[in-house]
Amino acid sequence: MSDCAICGRRSEKDDLCAYHISALENVKIAFDEWRKALEIDWNTYLTRLLDEENIGKWAREVVEYLMQQDGS
């Protein structure tokens, strides 16, 4: 196994630890709700999440990681 690409903990799958995998799943689930309500695309969603004050630490780290991966 390798280390989490975000925090360095032991990764479970997709180069992320269990905490960041869980946060990623929550980000993806929430996107479906946001997309239905606001008709926004993935990159806009990620950008808007970073503006949210109440986003959790792990979710924020996942969003920043995803944006780096996409080159945003």
In this structure, what is the dihedral angle of CA atoms 52, 42, 58, 30, given to the nearest 10 degrees? 80
pLDDT in tens, 31-71: 999 999 998 999 999 999 999 999 999 999 999 999 998 87
pLDDT at site 1 = 63
Report yes or no on 6 lying in a domain.
no
Report yes or no on 26 lying in a domain.
yes
**CA distance to 35, 42, 56, 71, per residue, from 19 (Å):** 24, 21, 11, 23
Number of domains in the chain: 1
Report yes or no on 10 lying in a domain.
no
pLDDT in tens, 14-34: 789 999 999 999 999 999 999
Q: CA-to-CA distance for 57 and 66, rounded, in angstroms?
A: 14
Consecutive H or E run containing 54: none
Report yes or no on 8 lying in a domain.
no
Residue 57, domain extent? 18-70
Q: CA-to-CA distance for 67 and 72, rounded, in angstroms?
A: 5
Going by pLDDT thresholds of 50, 70 and 90, the confidence category of residue 9 is very high
Report yes or no on 52 lying in a domain.
yes
Going by pLDDT thresholds of 50, 70 and 90, the confidence category of residue 72 is low
